[in-house]
Chains A and B, each alone.
Chain A
Amino acid sequence: MDFSFDLFGNAILSGLLLGGFYAAVTIGVAISFGMLDIVNIAHPAFIILGSYIAYTANSLLGMDPILASLIALPAFYLLGMGIYQIYHVSFERRGDEALRGLAFFFGLLFITEVALVLTFGVDYRLVEARYIGPSIHIGPIDLPLRLLVPFIVSLGLIGLLQVFLSRTFLGRAILAVAQDQEALRLMGADPIRIKRIAFGISIATASVAGAILIVIQPVEPSIARDYIGRIFAICVMGGLGSFPGMVVAALALGIVESLTSTFYGPSWTPAVGFGFLLLTLAVRPAGIFGR
């Protein structure tokens, strides 16, 4: 493999852009797993669901995929509230999160994937929008818009949520429930209601993440599984529930994956996230920014 500096620079840059997108994919899990301690392994499946909704709106109505995802946002929020309600009544209240709660989410992952296969088939689907295709050229560096737009949307989403969590009453209540549920109850707030809202928000982010996923790459139902390793690797490495940590971890993973893909071939990239995850778990399970 002959090494070229242009190739290297472009790989780093597209890795950074990719990493920004990974942060948007992870933020839902950073809320559900990192703050609420709900191991929602079905989250990637909801992201793919978001991709297919964007695809349907795009191919039937010619709507912009990201706009479509914003319209679908309330539906995802309600879906998340509903799932949390079932989860709470059936598992959390019984103290049975570990075995049956995990199996529940695994079942949801599986059902969503198979339902998508039955509806859309296993062909790769893609969307059309004006920013897919052209690139900005700065000297030897190419900035493809199909990566740049998701990057900006992703950082916007994360910034918005960060402001929401730190500035609003509800956001602070969510941070509080992550720290001490009983204390929140003593303050006269209902922790279950707060958690329901937080879980709704976490699923709602999947709508946007799904739309920018299908902008970046063609989608088929089973790619949800490739993202499980990535998402949880980023989430754990960033130190559960910390947004800045998550963004740094996502950018790091994006760069390493992009370099792997450029210099060893794209068929190796799925293993990178897992390698990161195992390494983090073995060396520093609290994450690089963990307390």
Chain B
Amino acid sequence: MRALPFLLVSILVAAATFGAATLVGNSYVFFAGYVVLQYIVLATAWNILGGYTGYVNFGTAAFLALGAYSSVVIHKTMPMPIPVLIVIGGLVSGIVGLGMGYLTLRLRGSFFSIATLALSVVVQTLIINWDFVGGSRGAYIVRPRTTEYFAMNYIEYLFLVMLVLSVIAVFTARCIERSRLGYGFAAIRDDEAAAEASGVPTLKLKLLATTLSGAFMGMAGAPLPYYVTYLDPASGFSLAYAVNAIAMPLIGGTASWLGPVIGAVLLGTLQQVATVTISSALNLLIVGVILVAFVIIAPNGLIGLVRGKGRGMKR
């Protein structure tokens, strides 16, 4: 499929999703759906770096929280509409991603991963000590019942915003996959030294992937304060974001844009159901166990299982 038809189809799918959610008419569908959509963006963003170039980012929560806290700061100084917040959150997280990448990506891949893991702790420390955004007590965001432009229910509006964002993220990921850029990324993943020797500008491409990936995570986080209405460091930096962002692409399959989407929809929905029916701690345990089971038994994810082991690619 070419890029344009793909975009049209994804918009149609998104419109159908929104239509179906409206038909159900229960606002819980929008609440739960928002979380699943947020995970589609996070998983896709993670996969741009992790799946395409093979560099593991453990700091999803930090990038998400940077976007979310940018929104808190703006909300407290001069409130702006959510699409603007998303752009700003994306910029902030993208710049941090670039900085992290610049410091660590010239070294072995594991150094980058360790640094991202530690990044969560540091950004959380900064936020806890920053009283303006509520410190460890957290920040309250009072959101209106309806939006001013379409007189739309606010939660439906947030759902729609996240839906659009997930279409943009998935479309971007697919464009990268089929472009020279994507082949460059894949070359880095398969053999970085060989890629460098063949004239692939590896550092530049890795920095681009880190920036893009971080930016999408920040964008996903920007509307979060308005969704939860109360944001504290413990929930904003929850390890659940990091583990889900890794588990979803690995369960779906990291080689293509479809893997993170499948993983996010399956695992996201499962968790929404499990949180209501079982307990939220136990359902995180389930995610961890599924992640470990999948990396051991099905290294190519669900997509790899469907395509069959013999014929499938090595990754």
Using Cβ atoms and an 8 Å threshold, which residues of chain B touch A91? 295
CB-CB contacts below 8 Å: B285-306 with A = 285, 287-289, 291-292, 295-296, 299
Residue from the list A33, A102, A115, A117 in contact with B56, Cβ < 8 A: A102
Are A94 and B113 within 8 A (Cβ)?
A: no
Q: Point out the residues of chain A lying under 8 angstroms from B3, CB to CB.
A: none
CB distance from A91 to the nearest CB of B (A): 8
> Per-residue CB proximity of A109-140 to B under 8 Å, as 1/0?
01101110110000000000000000000000
Is B289 a contact partner of A111 (Cβ separation < 8 A)?
yes
Q: In chain B between 83 and 139, which residues have their CB closer than 8 angstroms to a CB of chain A?
A: 103-104, 107, 109-111, 113-115, 117-122, 124-126, 128-129, 136
Give which listed residue, B118, B292, B299, contacts A277 with CB less than 8 A.
B118
A6 beta carbon closer than 8 Å to chain B: no
Contact B115 A268 (CB under 8 A): no
Q: How far apart are the CA atoms of A282 and B112 in the complex, in Å?
A: 11
Q: How far is the CA of A94 from the CA of B63 in the complex (A)?
A: 31
Contact A108 B56 (CB under 8 A): no
Q: Mark A88-119, 1 if CB is under 8 A from B, else 0.
A: 00110010101111111011101101110110
Interface size on A, residues (CB 8 A): 46
**Residue in A90, A113, A118, A271 whose beta carbon sits within 8 Å of that of B295 in the complex:** A90
Instruction: Classify the interface of chain A: helix, strand, loop or mixed.
Output: helix
Contact assessment for A228 and B121 in the assembled complex, using a CB-CB cutoff below 8 Å: yes
Question: Would B296 and A98 count as touching, CB distance under 8 A?
Answer: no
A238 in contact (CB, < 8 A): no
Contact check, B299 vs A100: say whether CB atoms are below 8 A apart. yes
| CB < 8 Å neighbour of B288 from A86, A114, A229, A233 | A114
Q: Is A199 an interface residue (CB 8 A)?
A: no
Q: Is A144 an interface residue (CB 8 A)?
A: no
Does A267 count as interface, using CB distance less than 8 angstroms?
yes
B122 neighbours in A (Cβ, 8 Å): 229, 270-271, 274-275
Are the CB atoms of B281 and A106 closer together than 8 Å? no
Measured as residues with beta carbon below 8 angstroms from the partner, the interface class of chain B is 35 or more
Complex CA distance for A124 and B136, rounded to whole angstroms? 18
Within 8 A of B (CB), among A63-109: 86, 90-91, 94, 96, 98-104, 106-108
Docked CA distance A230–B125 (Å): 14
Q: Known contacts being A98-B54, A106-B243, A285-B107, is A271 close to B117, with CB within 8 Å?
A: no
User: Shortest Cβ distance from B19 into chain A, in angstroms?
Assistant: 36
Residue in contact with A110 in the complex, picked from B103, B111, B126, B288, CB distance below 8 Å:
B288
Is there an interface contact between A285 and B288, defined as CB atoms closer than 8 Å? no
CA distance A118 to B243 in the complex (A): 18
List B contacts of A113 (CB < 8 A). Answer: 239
Asked, given contacts A107-B291, A268-B125, whether A281 binds B115 with beta carbons under 8 Å apart, the answer is: yes
- Indicate if A278 sits at the interface (CB-CB under 8 A): yes
CA distance A153 to B299 in the complex (A): 42
> Do B111 and A267 touch across chains, with their CB atoms under 8 A apart?
no
Interchain CB contact under 8 A, B121 and A270:
yes
B228: min CB distance to chain A, Å:
20
Chain A residues proximal to chain B, CB less than 8 Å: 33, 39, 41, 86, 90-91, 94, 96, 98-104, 106-108, 110-111, 113-115, 117-118, 222, 225-226, 228-229, 232-233, 236, 265, 267-268, 270-271, 273-275, 277-278, 281-282, 285
Task: Identify 6 residue pairs between A and B in the complex whose beta-carbon atoms are under 8 Å apart, listed by A's number.
Answer: A98-B56, A99-B56, A107-B291, A110-B291, A111-B288, A222-B239
Other contacts beyond A100-B299, A281-B103, A285-B111: 20, CB < 8 A: A94-B299, A98-B54, A98-B109, A104-B296, A106-B58, A108-B292, A110-B239, A110-B284, A111-B285, A113-B239, A114-B281, A114-B285, A228-B117, A228-B118, A229-B118, A236-B114, A267-B128, A267-B129, A270-B124, A285-B107
